[in-house]
Structure 1
């Protein structure tokens, strides 16, 4: 759920981005396979940007499959026994205190959808990709800790028509058709839902609209191709369903705060 001891990497991957601010350490872990087991020596807040699938046992001895929804907030308290592994993983934000002061809360959870946490996590990801003098890391970390350890973290999990299994089916459908137009009617039809109900259920489950989620999937595929292929940026834009290379560049700057060319140069080994 939080710290990842990954297997030996094969292709070069995006680097782990890390910043320390006051008593906080904030890391952005790139999407990659991982397998880890540990007992938490300090409490940690996590945020999964991508949907992912694997096995885990959090605070118990029972190992079971998991299907994690995107934009899920997580919390691991001190002393919690954690086992987690995924063949693909997903981009993940990790926030911990480094001064030994424990965070409130003694109950582990994940897959929690919280609108304010989503906004904070996206802001922190953009700042880790491209820093600014206006970044306010301590305020962001404190605010995210409040979302993870406040009363809202004790609420029952949200119920939704978009289950983990259905989300995985939808992800496979989207990934197979990213090079062409994808719309609400096709996605709703895949799950046997009306368009209106699908849009409400999707927002309820993931914290974002289907359109916004599609853009994120296009960006994720583009980033993977920039890292693992020699295709030109124009070719990558076409493969990922952007109207043009310029459209892809604009979307990268708006969503990630960095251009495709800058991100590709950061992903190169050495």
Structure 2
């Protein structure tokens, strides 16, 4: 997918992290507002780590609101007309082939939940955050492309009980209470669902558990504070709902492959 023409954010943004490996270009776009309009000169694969919302028109002149679920795989075929805008965006992985060889597929999609694609995208994000150039980038990019274009790829997952409106409510609830414990029971009650049904529906819609998503939101807030403030690591950890600096560091290493201090220095 072509580069997003992102307006200058009011706060400092993380850099776009990019690596070129053989015929592939892989980029990790930070969560930031963007507005883009282009005709795709080459097919592209995308992966949304965060829930996102805005307006888009993909292969159509009809502009409609969109809600992207976290961990959603996306594909834009070559020649597709794309308009996409979001006031807040979200962290996004983009993979394109640069040698002119077309990727199969002529149907654009997003919000596809694919466990293998999720594992690949998380591995690639960790390597990009570490600044690693020795990993098997070509194999990872090819495998992700196969998940997006292969005949065995799953169909787009229905949101079922986790609608766009409910996802927005959940995000607002989590963001407002990140400095304190948040339980699955409270999340389910917010949406008017039983705890068991909520956990099953959330996993189906996003490919991860509510608890895992909560940790991701804590990490996203911590990354923003590392970037935008001079607060100490212990202060940031407590502000994001971690029990201690050590607890936050463990989560960073497990999920992102890098410590908070190392990420701040980068």
Q: TM-score range by the shorter chain?
A: over 0.9
Cα distance in structure 1, aligned partners of 2:62 and 2:70: 24
| Kept after mapping to 1: 8 A contact 2:179/2:239 | yes
Cα distance in structure 1, aligned partners of 2:132 and 2:93: 18
Partner-residue secondary structure (3-state), 2:242: coil
- The structural deviation recorded for 1:53 is 1.1
Cα distance in structure 2, aligned partners of 1:236 and 1:175: 15
Q: Which residue of 1 aligns with 2:263?
A: 263
Structure 1 residues 138 and 240, CA, compared in 2 at 3 Å: closer, same or farther? Answer: same
User: How many equivalent residue pairs?
Assistant: 266
Cα distance in structure 1, aligned partners of 2:177 and 2:201: 22
Cα distance in structure 1, aligned partners of 2:3 and 2:164: 23
1:139 is the counterpart of 2:139? yes
- The structural deviation recorded for 1:151 is 2.2
Q: Which runs of 5+ in 1 are unaligned?
A: none
- The structural deviation recorded for 1:29 is 0.4
Q: Which residue of 2 aligns with 1:120?
A: 120
Q: How does 1:40-189 map to 2 (within 5 A)?
A: 40-132=40-132, 135-153=135-153, 155-189=155-189
Cα distance in structure 2, aligned partners of 1:165 and 1:118: 23
Cα distance in structure 2, aligned partners of 1:240 and 1:63: 36
| Kept after mapping to 2: 8 A contact 1:2/1:45 | no
Cα distance in structure 2, aligned partners of 1:45 and 1:146: 10
Cα distance in structure 2, aligned partners of 1:256 and 1:156: 27
- The structural deviation recorded for 1:250 is 1.1
Structure 2-normalised TM-score? Answer: 0.96
- The structural deviation recorded for 1:25 is 0.5
- The structural deviation recorded for 1:264 is 1.2
- Deviation digits for residues 116-175 of structure 1 (CA, Å, limit 9, x no counterpart): 100000000001111457611111111100110012457354342111111111010011
- The structural deviation recorded for 1:39 is 0.4
Q: Which residue of 1 aligns with 2:22?
A: 22
- The structural deviation recorded for 1:225 is 1.0
Partner-residue secondary structure (3-state), 2:85: strand
Cα distance in structure 1, aligned partners of 2:256 and 2:94: 17
RMSD of aligned Cα (Å): 1.4
Of 139-148 and 157-166, deviating more is 157-166
| Kept after mapping to 1: 8 A contact 2:114/2:154 | no
Cα distance in structure 1, aligned partners of 2:145 and 2:83: 23
Structure 1-normalised TM-score? Answer: 0.95
- The structural deviation recorded for 1:9 is 3.4
